[in-house]
Structure 1
Amino acid sequence: MSFEVIKPGILSTLQDWGRYGYQHIGLTTGGPMDEHAFCWANWLLENEMNMAQIEITWGKLILKAHEPTIIALTGADLKAKLNDQYISPWTTYNISKGDILSFDSPVQGLRAYLAVLGGFNVKDSLGSIATIVREHIGGLANGEPLKEGDLIPFSPSSENHLKRVPKWAIPDYGAPLSLGVMLGYQQDSFSKTALDTFFSTQYEVSQNIDRMGYRLTGTPISGALNGIISEGIAYGSIQVPQDGQPIILMKDRQTIGGYPKLGCLSALGASRLAQRAPGTSVSFFPMEIEQAEAERYLFDQVVLG
């Protein structure tokens, strides 16, 4: 009643919606880097939205099914195969006992999400299955990524459940990326020239990216503050260190930080960034919080019902 990990891939982790209520003791939230793809995967299977999935980063994961089930695959195209047949993301597939699921390197996007009908049956840690390697919490054991020989349990099912995400909801991860930024209370420490530079510059995703943050490279921006007293940090915050190169904080971010923050992406905006590999160009535009709230409201109405 499980998937066996034949090869663990570059970075494959179990993630649910995240671990909330513990940032005051230094535990970050974790959770899916791409909430859009994660939510649609559970939607395809009519799962509860918090049911855990496998987040597959960069591919190379190979799984063997020990029982039948139905899977949903969303997010990046990692040249997935079911046995010897290529399969596309954003749809469901029936899995039989003995089937082999494999993932290669990315064609488009960076992270794929694999959900099973009814979710994976994994014990939670402090109310969540979310894997946070740095903090040794979540996943199958002690925050470890999936490794060869791991068994990921689920409840078997022989149902026929074929469903596909609507075409209008499937992102194009190769399209130009422009993200809305809600300016924060520290915006006054950045001059009009610095803000104009930020919003008119094409930045590039650097090689220095992970689940903690995305470092960008481009025209430096500077502010009046070289540092601040460390304070709590929100998902999607845009820190500006002394070198003037923005850092966008992601799901496994530290809980506090001492760099001034220009503003913040929305969760859906950060999800779009999470699918972009090093070398991708990204630009920004000012966005009011009401616009972000409206976008989220519409998304939740469609996906969460």
Structure 2
Amino acid sequence: MSQNQRFASITGCGQGSIGEALVKEYFARGLHAIATLLPFEKSDHPDEAGITWFKLDVTSEQSIIDLKHELDILTKGYLDVLVNCAGIAYTMTAIDTDVQAVEKMFQVNVIGPMRMVHHFHGNFIRASGVIVNIGSVGGIVPYMYGSSYNATKASLHHWSNTLRLEMSPLSVRVVTIISGEVGTNILKSDNLRELPEGYFYAPLKEEFKAHVQRTVKGATDRFDYARNVVAQSLRSSPKAWLWYGGSAGIDSMFYRQFKLNKVKKAYPASSKQV
């Protein structure tokens, strides 16, 4: 690590998020924790906690450049921890996907971390620091209605894997977090989303509505999640991959959980005419 004072910057720290829990945990452990908020987000929660914050839109090159300028002044060019946590969700069946919405999600979930590492690499190389990329179990298993979101996380995982190899001779560690179900508000933008009328998945209209409006049972508390992730990230030799959060299973479990038999009954193989 760099100096007596260690610095940790976390993207995506809006109220109710994993990022908020992470930045508070780094702060509690004595690091100078730096939250980033979207330009339209309120700052009451970091203000009340006494946490430094800056505005950031990870889809904007200029916004990242502006943040780097601010942090270089604050940290003298060092960054011990960078957590790429900013992310958005998009819930829909693969065949009914709005590609423009997915392009925006890739900009946040995948290109955003790439931009951050591109601009800040000198800071954590100088500090012999650690990069933490917040992935998802959806990038590993076929979580229903999440094909596009899952694709962003799978992309992030593989990029992170190669980044770990490339950063190793520069004394920078890279940790990929495979997050299960964590109690956050990430689904707030999907709350009113509906399946299109009259299409193949119409039989699951009510189930889909319940899914996007659900309160996840058995979800991991985000502050418990943060304690585990932060503890791992601060180890001298952290795990390359850390699985944490409510678990997910295999295809058969999802088939039952999401009642895909209703689709099968509505469109039997003998009558498939697409």
Q: Same fold (TM over 0.5)?
A: no
TM-score class, shorter-chain normalisation, is under 0.3
TM-score relative to the length of structure 2: 0.27
TM-score relative to the length of structure 1: 0.25
